[in-house]
Amino acid sequence: MRTPRTPFLATRPASPRDYLGAGCVFFIVLVIAGAIAPYAPFKVGIQDDVTGFCQVASIAFQLTTALLLYGQWRAGRHPSTGFLAVAFAYSAIMTLIFLVEYPNLVTVGGVIPVVPSTVGYFAFAWQLGTYALIVVFAATSQRLRPFDSGISITAAAAGAFTIGLALLVIFYGAALPPLAVDGHFTPINQFVWHPITLLIGVVTLVSVVAATRLKRSIDVYAALFVTGLVADAYLLQVGSERFSFGRIGARLEVLIVSATVAFVMIRHVNLLYRQLTTENRRLARAAMVDPLTGVANRRAFDIHIEGLQGSAVLLIIDIDHFKNYNDLEGHRAGDDCIRRVARALAANVLRSEDLIARYGGDEFAAILHDIDLDDAIHVAERIRRAVSDLAIPGAQEAGTAITVSIGVAAFLPGEETSDLVRRADEALYRAKSEGRNRVAFDEETALEPL
């Protein structure tokens, strides 16, 4: 079944492509975790630049996702999208703080000097806060009514918590229990905080799946992101040493899921642009088409005639005695008559560069390009006969049929298009005054060399 097109992730059902793509990345995350776990405690000859790169890239991808989700929330005001935007923004900001404060990574003692053993509190706050915000996202997954105040309060609370934690670590870090010493986790970190964080991550993943049932595309990728965070916590649990396989693998897992979610969001935006472009083109075409007849409308005619150059001829075509026909036969029959006449006209204006348009109620206009007056009159006669051959019963008297009168005028170099229309109208008036069901050409046109 094809996924319904909707501009909002909050109402877009998950497609087979979403399940397949997320499933492949989920499998990759599990394979990496399983492959690294036995070697997680061992150190590898790679500097902090690798883990730093992974974290910088993860921050960039998460901020991109947060920005795109924010745009979705502003447009649709779906609460779950707003809460998820806050979650990704919080994750990126907290990771950034951890990165710039980590000893000997950006600077020796961190951008703002803190007690090195307490930098890990930012990592715990990153994961636990992100889990909490994603749980809120899952809890509001079925709500479509706006909840702007709740999202604003949550964002403000997340910001206040981040600032408060930073101030606590900066000014009171010496009083906090150390979490790492010389790149080694302390017992309270290794056996208390990390197992608790891992357990909360697993509970969050189960909660997201249970609350959302992964019905929407956004649910699938939110669960995938949580999976990456759980894999990060697991690899740090089994390989916490600095420069270890476990730590590098943990940062790689977060990078993989962050990049995946960001690419999915960017792809969705690209699809939206394509849908928007297609819809704009459709509306542009619809704005140029007469809905009753399917031929060009007056607006299209006005645009087309303003661009006339070279040799061109204008035909103005009027259905004879149409008012009487419409009054006697009714509007439905009148509309059917106009449609049939329009089809006959379109069938006899054959070249793609020419235009046939509905000019008014029962009037049509044809613009013929690169044609002389004699050939244009021949086309007009062909149109007149085609309408007569329709044999639509007329309203004047028994045995009569609907006919048309046609005025013909050629475009003269340098003249205003309003003058061209005026001359074609005058020719049409003469055709009607001479008995209708005939073609008349503008005399001024006949006297001018074309």
Q: pLDDT tens digits, residue range 400-424?
A: 789 999 999 999 888 888 999 999 9
418: region left, alpha or beta (phi > 0 left; psi from -120 to 50 alpha): alpha
pLDDT at 106: 59
Please answer whether residues 440 and 406 qualify as being in contact, where contact means their C-beta atoms are separated by less than 8 angstroms: yes
Q: Does pLDDT of 305 surpass 50?
A: yes
Cα gap 333→326, rounded to integer Å: 7
Please answer whether residues 398 and 287 qualify as being in contact, where contact means their C-beta atoms are separated by less than 8 angstroms: no
Confidence label for 204 from pLDDT (cuts 50, 70 and 90): very high
Pick the more confident residue, 374 or 157: 157
Contacts of residue 427, defined as CB under 8 A and 6 or more positions apart, other chains included, come to 316, 407, 408, 409, 440, 441, 442
Mean per-residue pLDDT over the chain, rounded:
88
Q: Does pLDDT of 11 surpass 80?
A: yes
Q: Does pLDDT of 162 surpass 50?
A: yes
Q: Does pLDDT of 447 surpass 50?
A: no
Pick the more confident residue, 233 or 242: 233
> 102-106, 147-151, 171-175, 398-402: which has the minimum mean pLDDT?
102-106
Long-range contacts of 160-167 (CB under 8 A, 24+ apart): 161/125, 161/129, 162/90, 162/93, 162/94, 162/97, 162/125, 162/129, 165/121, 165/122, 165/125, 166/97, 166/112, 166/122
The yes-or-no answer to whether 9-283 and 298-447 have a common fold is no
Architecture of domain 9-283: Up-down Bundle (1.20)
In DSSP terms, 315 is beta-bridged to 366, 408
pLDDT at 284: 82
Q: Which two tokens stand for residue 287?
A: 């704005």
Q: What is the pLDDT of residues 258-286, one digit of tens each?
A: 999 999 999 988 888 888 888 888 888 88
pLDDT at 357: 94
Q: Does pLDDT of 450 surpass 80?
A: no
Give me the mean pLDDT over the 151-156 stretch.
95
Q: Does pLDDT of 29 surpass 70?
A: yes
Q: What is the pLDDT of residues 58-98, one digit of tens each?
A: 999 999 999 999 999 998 889 999 999 999 999 999 999 98
Please answer whether residues 414 and 404 qualify as being in contact, where contact means their C-beta atoms are separated by less than 8 angstroms: no
Terminus-to-terminus CA distance in the chain, angstroms? 60
Most confident of 26-35, 106-115, 243-252, 325-334: 26-35
Q: Which two tokens stand for residue 217?
A: 């595309």
pLDDT at 449: 44
Most confident of 105-109, 216-220, 346-350: 216-220
CATH of 298-447 given 3.30.70.270, 2.60.40.1120, 3.40.190.10, 3.40.50.1970: 3.30.70.270
Please answer whether residues 311 and 370 qualify as being in contact, where contact means their C-beta atoms are separated by less than 8 angstroms: yes
pLDDT at 444: 67
Smallest CA-to-CA distance from 298 within 313, 311, 308, 288 is with: 288
Sign of the four-CA dihedral 427, 432, 433, 437: positive
Q: Does pLDDT of 150 surpass 60?
A: yes
pLDDT at 231: 95
pLDDT at 102: 77
Q: For 371-418, give the DSSP string.
A: --HHHHHHHHHHHHHHHHHT--B-SSSTT-B--EEEEEEEPPTT--HH
Report how far apart, in Å, the C-alpha atoms of 244 and of each of 49, 64, 105, 178 are. 13, 29, 16, 20
Instruction: Domain ranges for the chain, please list them.
Output: 9-283, 298-447
pLDDT at 42: 86
Confidence label for 439 from pLDDT (cuts 50, 70 and 90): very high
pLDDT at 1: 43
Contacts of residue 258, defined as CB under 8 A and 6 or more positions apart, other chains included, come to 57, 58, 61, 62, 65, 225, 228
pLDDT at 47: 60
Q: State percent of the chain over pLDDT 90.
A: 56
Helix%, strand%, coil% for the chain, nearest 5: 65, 10, 25
